[in-house]
Structure 1
Amino acid sequence: MENYMMSGEGEKNSSDVVYLCDEVFDFSTVSSAFFILIFILSVTGNVLLLFVLAIYEDLKNITNLFILNLACSDLVFTVTLPFWAAYYLHHWIFGDFTCKFMTAAYFVGLYSSVILLTAMTVDRFITVVLHNWWSSPVRRRRYAMAACAAAWVISIAASVSDAIKVEVETSWNNLSTCEAPSDGPDIKLGYYLQVSLLFFLPFVIIVFCYSAILKTVLQATNRKRYRTVVVVLCIVAAFFICWGPYNVLLFVMSMYDPRGCNEIERLYIAHSICRILAFFHCCMNPVLYLLSQKLRTHLLQLLHCKCVRIKCKERGTATTVIQNVAFIAQNSAVTLDPHSK
């Protein structure tokens, strides 16, 4: 799943020395518990979001199209979490094919999220800053669909190389691992290119686009029409806040050899915390989508649809009873009136 793993024994190779640290704090149980929690929250939130989009929203809308694909991307990533939770609690027990498949799914979810967020930001940039560039809504929708398709194709193609690298290895104590080799200049060069092209480059593009967007919005007299920009900005910011520390730490760890058990332990704990923060991103998007009043309303309608129908039936029945009682009372009053003919 990643190029750096720490076992309970805290073994770390440097160029000249091998450190064996028996008292390194074991974060495996904590990480596994968080993975299961994230899995539950992500599946619940993203499935509800998909239902809201499918039932209440217009999927021809460009923003809804991107949100739909992002929810699918989060679910693809989420599916892998129970496997990693079991891995960290015990060892890899699912075989070589599952190791490669889960690694591929992990990176497909990650890469597609980055590409989709970048495409969504570029779409906002063209809509707000270069608002005359789109000649027609049909052309814009066509480009958006092509961008979504390209995001999935690129992410699947990029994940294949990661899946091929990983393999299941069994150590002397019959504990299996699902990891990629971390040594070799070719592997490090590939990792640098991967991080640069699929994280830092999209980050630069997004920062540039939103700088221009914010400048345009602040100069506009009517800012209500740019509420979608705020929602998209929050979604993009959440991604880089969650995944930023993790990617930066992995980049540092690829060039840094800790000296001594204290450094190994601190690096291991920081890596575990940053990984949990990164994984939390897949259950953040449904919460951020609730910034939209319309989506909140649709979600409440979805969750309370049965209750609303029952209440409507009860109200209708009560109204009918009241009307019948009033009608009977009125007829009785007319009958009892001595002056009635």
Structure 2
Amino acid sequence: MTPPPSNSSSAGGAEEERCIVNDQMGAFIVLYILIFIISLPGNLLSLWAFIHSHRAKQSISVYLVNLLVSDLLLTLALPFKILKDLGVAPWGLMVFHCQASAVTVYISLYASILFLAFITTDRYLQESQSLQSLRLQEVGFARLLSLIIWLLLLLIMLPNMALPIQQVQPQRFLSCSALKAGVSLHWHALTVFLCMALFLNASAAVLLSCGLALKRLLGSRDDPRRRAGARRAAASVAALAAAYVVAFVPYHAVRTPYTLAQAKVITDCRTKRRLFLAKEWTLLLAVLHLCFDPLLCCRLLPPLRQTVSEALRCRTNRTVSDPEEQAAEETLQPATAAQQEAVL
């Protein structure tokens, strides 16, 4: 008579069926902590400087401040991801991350992508001084476009917070897709493809700006007066485009097949693990822009750079003057004592 299966074998089968993909997060956690430590002071300082600076009435300043806001939101959502990836967070906090803070990460990420695309396009228009008749560089138009972007992203992403999730047993290595089923899982897949469409449109704007800047540079070979401005425009736009491509293209190359694994179109566990690790590495590369965007804002907005420089200079002068003031106080103390003796 065949013996019944043991508890260990049934548990092993359940573990194998669940296919844990996020049990190798050590390196990611360390890198995310470093990104958080570096990016939080930089973004707070940049926002403070932007508020206290005499902001230029330019469209690029509108896009830059929206970029800083989206970066700050993404930075503040990172601790929840770190705690969840550590596997030590309470179960309620892990579920909260999947429903709320993870959605905030992607809202902020795509806001950063779109505003970086706008900055690249605006930079080309500003350097080339073209298309002024279309009024694309007016502050009012930039504010309206920024508002539309935020509303569009909220419309796409917020249902992921509101749609119901299924109950699962508490587990250390929770995959957020395990909480989704039915309508929630389908909307999640739709969200990914809608965001992919936004990314492709933003990429088209970045590549078009880069191509027009290069065309202008090649067309100015016979005119030395135009060549300096064309070279400056091409260098500026090419640097922004290169940073955009390096940060965001690898993630979107992996995102679609990984979504198919989440939607259970891809079922092989080994493939799902590889896709998850690829997604995490490319997402880390995309999040890395948080450390460099404050430098970008200071580079592109001179009033902001001036405010930061003045703040750091005042801080340095105060630190240098402190020992001098202390020495002066020590010198005055004996003199005061001598005066008291003379009076007596």
TM-score, normalising length from structure 1? 0.71
Displacement of 1:146 after TM fit? Answer: 1.3
| 1:303 matched residue in structure 2 | 312
Within the candidate set 246, 249, 266, 2:251 is matched to 246
Displacement of 1:83 after TM fit? Answer: 0.2
Displacement of 1:80 after TM fit? Answer: 0.8
Question: One-letter code of the match for 1:72?
Answer: V
Within the candidate set 268, 288, 291, 1:283 is matched to 291
Q: Aligned in 2, Cα 1:20/1:73: closer, same or farther, shift over 3 Å?
A: closer
**Residue pair 1:10, 1:264 contacting (<8 A) in 2 also:** no
**Residue pair 1:95, 1:168 contacting (<8 A) in 2 also:** no
- 1:44-80 per-position Cα deviation (integer Å, ceiling 9, x unaligned): 1111222332333524232222111101110111111
| 2:228 matched residue in structure 1 | 223
| 1:213 matched residue in structure 2 | 213
CA distance in 1 between counterparts of 2:232 and 2:321 reads 34
Question: One-letter code of the match for 1:112?
Answer: A
Range 246-255 or range 191-200, more displaced? 191-200
> Secondary structure of 2:158's partner?
helix
CA distance in 2 between counterparts of 1:103 and 1:186 reads 17
Does 1:161 pair with 2:159? yes
> Secondary structure of 1:194's partner?
helix
- Structure 1 residue ranges without an equivalent (≥5): 1-8, 316-341
TM-score, normalising length from structure 2? 0.70
Displacement of 1:207 after TM fit? Answer: 0.9
RMSD: 4.1
Displacement of 1:298 after TM fit? Answer: 4.4
Within the candidate set 282, 289, 294, 1:274 is matched to 282
Does 1:89 pair with 2:83? no
Instruction: Please state which structure has a larger fraction of its residues in helix.
Output: 2
| 1:58 matched residue in structure 2 | 55
CA distance in 2 between counterparts of 1:71 and 1:128 reads 23
Does 1:234 pair with 2:236? no
> Secondary structure of 1:94's partner?
helix
Superposed, 1:1-341 pairs within 5 Å as 26-90=23-87, 92-94=91-93, 99-128=98-127, 131-134=130-133, 140-165=138-163, 167=165, 169-171=167-169, 173=171, 178-179=176-177, 181=180, 186-187=186-187, 190-191=190-191, 193-220=193-220, 221-224=226-229, 227=232, 230-231=235-236, 233-255=238-260, 257=266, 259=268, 261=270, 263-289=271-297, 291=299, 294=302, 298-308=307-317
CA distance in 2 between counterparts of 1:10 and 1:195 reads 37
Displacement of 1:249 after TM fit? Answer: 0.7
Q: Aligned in 2, Cα 1:130/1:306: closer, same or farther, shift over 3 Å?
A: closer
CA distance in 2 between counterparts of 1:306 and 1:238 reads 32
CA distance in 1 between counterparts of 2:164 and 2:313 reads 46
Displacement of 1:156 after TM fit? Answer: 1.9
Pairs aligned (count):
302
Question: One-letter code of the match for 2:168?
Answer: T
| 1:336 matched residue in structure 2 | none
Displacement of 1:10 after TM fit? Answer: 12
**Residue pair 1:107, 1:155 contacting (<8 A) in 2 also:** no
**Residue pair 2:120, 2:206 contacting (<8 A) in 1 also:** yes
CA distance in 2 between counterparts of 1:97 and 1:192 reads 20
**Residue pair 2:111, 2:153 contacting (<8 A) in 1 also:** yes
